[in-house]
A and B are shown apart, each in its own frame.
Chain A
Amino acid sequence: MKTIRHFILLSILFISGNTFAQQISKAEVQVNGLTCSMCSKATETSLKSLGFIESITADLNRNVFILTFKPDQQVSIDQIRDKVQDAGFSIGDLSATINFSNTVIDAGGLAQSGGMIFQFINAKSKTLNGLVTAQVMDKDFITNSAFKKKVAELKSDSYLSGKGIVDGKETRIIHLSI
């Protein structure tokens, strides 16, 4: 009985592609502003309070935190950003490893997957399959000076605000670079 239930669930997940099963399996977060010996510990403690985090490995020399995520929980990169900022610091770079299954990027660079809307700033009209590492380019995921440059280059309202109208609703759009 249990095996049948699992099989049905798996089939649904496989077919629908709109699964809650998390496809972001890992993220490398480079944190800026760490100028005290206790700062990394405070940042790690802040991040650990997020329920979807499986493990945190800190590279104290590069100020990089390698996060792995629980496979059955929705990952929120915005919450990761908030926790780093709560500790008093900021994200310089967040590179996420995402497992795509036949996800289509349309001609405008937009893709939907795992309940999230992605806007690729350097890819369009292709299909993504398997593990892809992408850098998050939104505000507060890169340095302020880098963001200002990108805003001038992209001239996009959704990039400036991190939101856009999708299916008639205002939705969070995550901007990625691969």
Chain B
Amino acid sequence: MLGMGLHAHGQELYVFSEPASNMAAKSIGIRINNEGVFNGNAMNRTIPEVMISFNKKLMVHGQAFLSDMDGNYRLEGGSLYAKFRFLSIDETQKHLRAAFFGRLSTSKRPVYTEDINLEGDNSGAQGGLIVTQLLHKLALSGTLSYVKSFEVESHQVNGMPRPDQMINYSLSSGYLVLPVVYKSYNQPNFNVYFEMLGKTNPANGNSYLDCAPAFQVILNSRTRIDLGYRFQVAGDITGRYNKNMYLLRAEFNFFNVLK
């Protein structure tokens, strides 16, 4: 793994988080995400997602959540995400990008843990900051955000912990492994990512930290396939979401299609 790093170029199409950079202006992206856990009975969630970039600074995502976490496959909720890039400094061998982001989500799911997941499990809002720095061949990105859950009392399972607030933080890095020398746009690109994803409940300090490696293939410079797996390496929150979870994604991009 370390050997690969010596020949790699930084890549910022992270799998478990968003970079501070935006999609190209006037472009549309469509994603199908599937995530799941294997714990006796395999459960999974499917998330269709549309991404629209209005200009070089602002992009919006819309998602729908469908899963069989509570029985048969059903629509659980949706989410709106917006990212605004406010800083972009480019030099020849490095660049710095920073963006604010916000999210609003709804979910029908019952709640039984202090953990909050605004992509399927909880209703709530999130606001945060992403900073992505390219230094020579390494593209490092950090995210910090505050999450507040808004749950109706009827969703709360009696006697179980309640969700309220969370501080989310992550550190991501990505590398281009192939091709070593580019010949054309049609060559498949193969990237690997290492991400650390953490959460802390500010009310009591309960936390967990996940490590999330991922592989990625880019085809024809427009299509992206991701496969990642996140697993807990430190801390724990009883009943937490997304534990030992795989994520599979197919993304299709249409550049310069909006007027």
Contact = CB atoms under 8 A, between A and B. Distances in A.
B234 interface: no
Contact of B24 (A32, A37, A43, A58): A43
A45 B255 contact: yes
B218 interface: yes
Contact of A46 (B218, B224, B255): B255
B256 A32 contact: no
B96 to A, nearest CB: 10
B182 A41 contact: no
A151 interface: no
Interface stretch (B70-78, B86-94, B202-210, B240-248): B86-94
A1 interface: no
A37 B11 contact: yes
B238 interface: no
Contacts of B56: 85-88
B7 interface: no
Contacts of A89: 90
Contacts, number: 93
A63 to B, nearest CB: 10
Interface of B is mostly: loop
B232 interface: no
Interface in B179-198: 181-185, 189, 191
Given A41-B255, A86-B25, A88-B21, A61 B88 contact: no
B212 interface: no
Contact of A36 (B13, B25, B26, B185): B13
Contacts of B218: 37-38
A145 B134 CA distance: 16
Measured as residues with beta carbon below 8 angstroms from the partner, the interface class of chain A is 20 to 34
A87 B24 contact: yes
Interface string A118-150: 000000000000000000000000011100000
A88 B92 contact: no
Contacts of B222: 38, 41
A143 B90 contact: yes
A46 B91 contact: no
Contacts of A60: 182-185
A36 B15 CA distance: 13
Given A37-B218, A42-B24, A32 B91 contact: yes
B12 A36 contact: yes
B185 A35 contact: no
Nearest to A44: B185
A117 to B, nearest CB: 27
B258 to A, nearest CB: 11
Interface of A: 32-33, 35-38, 40-46, 48-49, 58, 60-61, 85-90, 92, 143-145
15 contacts: A33-B88, A33-B90, A35-B11, A35-B139, A36-B13, A41-B221, A42-B24, A45-B24, A48-B256, A87-B56, A88-B24, A88-B25, A88-B56, A143-B90, A144-B89
Interface of B: 9-13, 19, 21-27, 55-56, 88-92, 95, 134, 139, 176, 181-185, 189, 191, 218, 221-222, 224, 253, 255-256
Given A33-B88, A37-B189, A42-B24, 19 more contacts: A33-B90, A35-B10, A35-B134, A36-B21, A37-B13, A40-B221, A41-B185, A42-B27, A45-B255, A46-B25, A58-B185, A60-B183, A60-B185, A61-B182, A88-B22, A88-B56, A92-B90, A92-B92, A144-B90
